Structure 1
Amino acid sequence: MKNTKSEISDRESNSNTKEMTLTKELKVPAKPKNARGMVDNVLEQFNSASDQIGLHPNIRKILSITNNEVIVNFPVKMDNGDVEIFQGYRVQHNNALGPYKGGLRYHPTVDIDAARALAMWMTWKTSLAGLPYGGGKGGIQLDPSKYSKDELERITRRFTFALGDNIGPEHDIPAPDVNTNAQTMAWMADTYMSTKAPAARSMNQHVVTGKPIGSGGLEGRDRATGYGVFLTIKFWIEENNETLEGKTFIVQGFGNVGYWAAYFLEKEGAKMIGVQDAYGSIKNGNGIKVEDLFNYTKANNGSLVGYPESEAMEKEDFFALDCDICIPAALGNQITEGNAHLIKANLIAEGANGPINVEGEKILLEKGVTIIPDILCNSGGVITSYFEWLQNRNGELWNMEEVIERLDKKLKESYTKVSDYAKLEGIDMRKAAYCIAIQRIEKAYVQRGIFP
């Protein structure tokens, strides 16, 4: 492995390498009539795996719905003195294995349905990883690029206050997600701890994970999700007796996850030939240098548009680029029945949650494309969130080398379980991952029973 642990340790980065990358002109497309949403996708995936393992009907009923859904409306004073009302969400799907765990995102597409689907995915993700967590998710429906840093701080603190005891270090533990970062988590932790008695404040530091290192955060948490995407790709490549040297890849989404996945892939000799973000799409068959593009976007308000060592291309043509590996690391439902037939990659690594809908996946599987599913591929983030939670809970400090070593081991165990199960049962990797995750939760219910 070319990128040694010391190289990883020496790399300095904030918890989000590109903050608030949405363009102010970004509009959320209207959902087509009768279009499938993410909840439809996750439920179909769940039911397919449940059929595969013969899940008990009563447990299927429990896991088909969420435990709690919190919607809060709260006022925030803007810099100009006006007051805006925001709507925030926190959906808690299941806690049979432990506290709810999952990110908070700030994005115009955030709504209760999206939060439901993402919370369910988190339940399967934490179960598959063998963590003592359930699944939760939430956020605020807003475009953060339209607000100043001071406004975002007030929005975050007021949202945290509105959630109240619906979150907590042993109940529901938020983390960063789309357009939130270590700073967001620091504001949340400070606000939450400020509502507790002085003697209990230090005991509540682990109410959120993904914090800055100086505020109880974990070394390496910033790159963990992207590094995990890279690792699962590497595991698959090695399993097929190949190497990453000379492999080509494209990345949709050049934020924290996409950047770090690309960074580590390039270190192993792979070549990035196409990138797409909220601003535009670019390509270069000879390769796009990851660090050069990252530095360009930092100097260009987060946008990759106009990057000199590339050619602009139409958004609709991006997934048709001829490559070995495709990494959708942006939002859900990006690969559908409308564009799945265009994909030429033979491996898709889901850096985002739910980037492929059910119909699109059927097309890809018929074409012989391998998909490393989101609940395995991007689980590096929640695994290291667990490490941070333990670090805070036990009053410990873990260094980068220790974090990466533990993450390597945990992801290798998960990947091997999924790959072996898929081969044994003759099924795809997503269904295998779901089967393993659901069976662990089923076992908890069978052993404990249903109250009362």
Structure 2
Amino acid sequence: MTTITAELKKPSKKSKKALVRGMMDNVMEQFNSAADQINLHPNIRKILSITNNEIIVNFPVKMDNGEVEIFTGYRVQHNNALGPYKGGLRYHPTVDIDAARALAMWMTWKTSLAGLPYGGGKGGIKLDPTKYSKGELERITRRFTFALADNIGPEHDIPAPDVNTNSQTMAWIADTYMSTRPPAERTANQHVVTGKPDGSGGLEGRDRATGYGVYLSIKFWAEKNNKSLNGKKFIVQGFGNVGYWAAHFLEKDGAKLVAVQDAYGSIQNQKGIKVEDLFKYSKINDGSIVDFPNAKPVDKNQFFTLDCDICIPAALGNQITADNAPNIKARLIAEGANGPTNVEGEKILLDRGITIIPDILCNSGGVVGSYFEWLQNRNGELWQLNEVMEKLDKKMKESFDKVFDYSKNEGVDMRTAAFCIAIERIEKAYIQRGIFP
């Protein structure tokens, strides 16, 4: 182990570099803008501008054919002033140290804004999971966990699912981590990860928490603006866990899904696409929405320009840019993904009067659900689904109201408001505790 201090379709090497470089530029510009807004103490600005720890591990895994492949995994721990590092692990070809840095910083602001006792971390493995069998992915995951060793832990750094990882991935990590502990400590370390299956210490409702949080953010925005969601058209980029559940709950409120884009293609039907029908189709079609019978294909470059009221980017970062922002017809962007709108694209949208519910607020239902799971494991409790959803609703409402009110009172956009609230909470912790030594 060495420790050192979207494109939806598979990107080229050149576009991969541009993607992660853009993400880091975005998060730093967002941070500096908010820091200027609140006159952040210069010393605390220095601390928050860098990561605490950056872990890179290279490890061998035997493939099904007997050959050995070497994989590179990352875990970046940005800040833990408020509590243990918290954030997902993704399996994707774009994963590298720069991407992990940007995502870890966003996690710090997200957990702070939500009022959770967590800091921010992020990581993953650079790979395309579609190229490996389930058995190979299990061995890769377990070997990665072993390589990370004590760099993760239930009171130190708590991973969760992210792009191309799921509850099964978390179950493998938890089992591997607990197996390396002394026998008397094994069951006490179950909360080393969150997002586990229900039968292995997971939280009932955790699967829908992020998407439900996206829906709630849209619902709260509509209520603040005296609007009804009934009849509103929305489009979703990414029809995985986040996109599906957001669409599921929006449809229940009378909104109409009219277009979807995933890694395989784009479809639309202005008369409406039934969410459950599309979900069932994708499940039997290897996760793809392509050739869904009740919709027609759309050029991927035209997706964001389609007629709609609400746009939910729930895939990868840097999807809304200066190239497509001028032609977006939606009046509300609800960021289900992390960093889907770059700085240049956001400026264009704001100038056009389009509202953006920022990622660190909009998709924070996932980390709030993770916090509930962590508490459940820590306290030896079992929470029912209705209890989880009620708690999530209350927590998301508190965060949304704070951001909305700050935005109105200070005359800033919602992202700046969210960042200011998050950074001020961390600044207060440093001021109260001081800097060691």
TM-score normalized by the length of structure 1: 0.94
CA-to-aligned-CA distance 1:361-385 (integer Å, 9 cap, x gap):
0000000000000000000000010
> Which residue number in structure 2 is paired with residue 316 of structure 1?
301
Cα distance in 2, alignment partners of residues 391 and 40 from structure 1: 37
> Which residue number in structure 1 is paired with residue 15 of structure 2?
31
User: Which of 312, 326, 339 in structure 2 is aligned with 1:354?
Assistant: 339
**Given the alignment of the two structures, is residue 398 of structure 1 paired with residue 383 of structure 2, yes or no?**
yes
User: Which of 188, 192, 195 in structure 2 is aligned with 1:203?
Assistant: 188
Cα distance in 1, alignment partners of residues 433 and 38 from structure 2: 20
Say which SS state the counterpart of residue 413 (structure 1) adopts: helix
Letter in 2 for 1:320: T
Cα distance in 2, alignment partners of residues 333 and 342 from structure 1: 16
User: Which of 126, 137, 150 in structure 2 is aligned with 1:152?
Assistant: 137
CA-to-aligned-CA distance 1:275-304 (integer Å, 9 cap, x gap):
000000000010011000111111111111
Letter in 2 for 1:299: I
> Which residue number in structure 2 is paired with residue 185 of structure 1?
170
**Given the alignment of the two structures, is residue 106 of structure 1 paired with residue 91 of structure 2, yes or no?**
yes
Output the aligned Cα RMSD: 1.3
**Given the alignment of the two structures, is residue 340 of structure 1 paired with residue 325 of structure 2, yes or no?**
yes
Cα distance in 2, alignment partners of residues 33 and 353 from structure 1: 17
CA-to-aligned-CA distance 1:34-71 (integer Å, 9 cap, x gap):
77520110000000000000000000000000000000
**Given the alignment of the two structures, is residue 417 of structure 1 paired with residue 417 of structure 2, yes or no?**
no
> Which residue number in structure 1 is paired with residue 247 of structure 2?
262
- Does the 8 Å contact 1:211/1:217 carry over to 2? yes
CA-to-aligned-CA distance 1:217-245 (integer Å, 9 cap, x gap):
00000000000000000000111111110
**Given the alignment of the two structures, is residue 289 of structure 1 paired with residue 274 of structure 2, yes or no?**
yes
Runs of 4+ in 1 over 4 A off after TM superposition: 32-36
CA-to-aligned-CA distance 1:123-147 (integer Å, 9 cap, x gap):
0000000000000000001010100
Cα distance in 2, alignment partners of residues 338 and 141 from structure 1: 28
Cα distance in 2, alignment partners of residues 238 and 230 from structure 1: 12
> Which residue number in structure 2 is paired with residue 80 of structure 1?
65
> Which residue number in structure 1 is paired with residue 106 of structure 2?
121
Deviation at 1:28, TM superposition (A): 3.9
User: Which of 25, 38, 41 in structure 1 is aligned with 2:26?
Assistant: 41
- Does the 8 Å contact 1:28/1:109 carry over to 2? no
> Which residue number in structure 2 is paired with residue 216 of structure 1?
201
Letter in 2 for 1:193: M
Letter in 2 for 1:115: A
Identity rate, percent: 79
Letter in 2 for 1:240: N
Say which SS state the counterpart of residue 382 (structure 2) adopts: coil
Letter in 2 for 1:419: F
Letter in 1 for 2:134: K
**Given the alignment of the two structures, is residue 250 of structure 1 paired with residue 232 of structure 2, yes or no?**
no
Deviation at 1:342, TM superposition (A): 1.3
- Aligned residue runs from structure 1 range 365-444, under 5 A: 365-444=350-429
Cα distance in 2, alignment partners of residues 225 and 182 from structure 1: 14
Letter in 2 for 1:386: Y
Cα distance in 2, alignment partners of residues 444 and 33 from structure 1: 35
- Does the 8 Å contact 1:28/1:108 carry over to 2? no
Letter in 2 for 1:72: V
Say which SS state the counterpart of residue 14 (structure 2) adopts: coil
Structure 1 unmatched ranges of 5 or more: 1-21
| Aligned residue pairs, count | 430
Structure 2 unmatched ranges of 5 or more: 1-6
> Which residue number in structure 1 is paired with residue 4 of structure 2?
none
**Given the alignment of the two structures, is residue 141 of structure 1 paired with residue 126 of structure 2, yes or no?**
yes
- 1:295 and 1:208, CA in 2 relative to 1: closer, same or farther beyond 3 A? same
Cα distance in 1, alignment partners of residues 46 and 323 from structure 2: 32
Between stretches 296-305 and 65-74, larger displacement belongs to 296-305
Say which SS state the counterpart of residue 254 (structure 1) adopts: coil
Cα distance in 2, alignment partners of residues 316 and 249 from structure 1: 17
Cα distance in 2, alignment partners of residues 441 and 377 from structure 1: 20
Cα distance in 1, alignment partners of residues 18 and 117 from structure 2: 37
TM-score normalized by the length of structure 2: 0.97
CA-to-aligned-CA distance 1:323-368 (integer Å, 9 cap, x gap):
0000000000000111111100000000000000000000000000
